[in-house]
């Protein structure tokens, strides 16, 4: 699988470790920066990775910043991107199974190096469940296209 990866300075070391894990698992890695732990802003890297996924240059993306919040918010501004923060393997798996997340977001301050492989593997190995989840992801996609308010659904459907 082709995977784009990016981070700000706070996620740089984790990004470098993840590149090694991805390569060891046979994935092609497109590193879109940053290239050092020198202080930098996260939005440009979020946009580069998200656009690579949107444009088909990568099948999925991975982003890292200190908390994961800022870089996820920025990536989710790109149409077609479903960037999800995962702090454990279950959350990573569910982001794929229920939300068809195409960008995994990690918080370097929240994710110990000892948990990285398990989170990464859970996200890479999980498949989208479809069904009622496809309808929900479709509602998000429709909103992106029309920018209109989605119809309200009951919580239990």
Proportion of the chain above pLDDT 90, given as a percent? 90
pLDDT in tens, 71-101: 999 999 999 999 999 999 999 999 999 999 9
Of 157, 141, 52, 137, the residue nearest 95 (C-alpha): 137
pLDDT, average across residues 1-11? 98
Q: Where are the domains of the chain?
A: 2-146
What strands lie across the sheet with 83-85, from one edge to the other?
Answer: 28-31, 2-7, 60-65, 103-107, 83-85
Residue 147 has a pLDDT of 81
**Which DSSP category does 59 fall into?**
S
* Residues 86/105, Cβ–Cβ less than 8 Å: yes
List, in sequence order, every beta strand (DSSP E) within the chain.
Answer: 2-7, 28-31, 60-65, 83-85, 103-107
pLDDT in tens, 16-40: 999 999 999 999 999 999 999 999 9
- SS3 state of residue 104: strand
Q: What is the pTM of this model?
A: 0.92
Of 70, 75, 17, 69, the residue nearest 46 (C-alpha): 75
- Overall CATH class of domain 2-146: alpha beta
Say which residue the tokens 């800022």 belong to.
70
pLDDT band at 53 (very low <50, low <70, confident <90, very high): very high
| Secondary-structure breakdown of the chain: helix, strand, coil percentages, each rounded to the nearest 5 | 45, 15, 40
pLDDT, average across residues 107-126? 98
Catalytic residues: 65, 98
pLDDT, average across residues 38-62? 98
Higher pLDDT, 116 or 149: 116
Residue 155 has pLDDT above 90, yes or no: no
Residue 154 has a pLDDT of 64
């Amino acid at each position: 699988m082709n995977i784009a990866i990016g981070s700000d300075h706070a996620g740089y070391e984790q990004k470098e470790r993840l590149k090694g894990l991805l390569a060891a698992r046979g994935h092609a890695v497109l590193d879109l920066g940053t290239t050092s732990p020198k202080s930098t802003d996260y939005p440009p890297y979020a946009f580069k990775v998200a656009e690579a996924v949107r444009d088909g240059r990568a099948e999925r993306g991975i982003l890292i910043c200190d908390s994961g919040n800022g870089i996820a918010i920025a990536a989710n501004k790109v149409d077609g991107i479903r960037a999800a923060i995962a702090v454990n393997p279950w959350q990573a798996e569910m982001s794929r199974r229920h939300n068809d997340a195409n960008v995994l977001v990690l918080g370097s301050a929240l994710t110990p190096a000892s948990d990285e492989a398990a989170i990464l593997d859970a996200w890479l190995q999980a498949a989208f469940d479809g069904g009622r989840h496809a309808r929900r992801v479709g509602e998000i996609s429709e909103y992106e296209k029309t920018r209109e308010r989605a119809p309200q659904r009951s919580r239990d459907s």
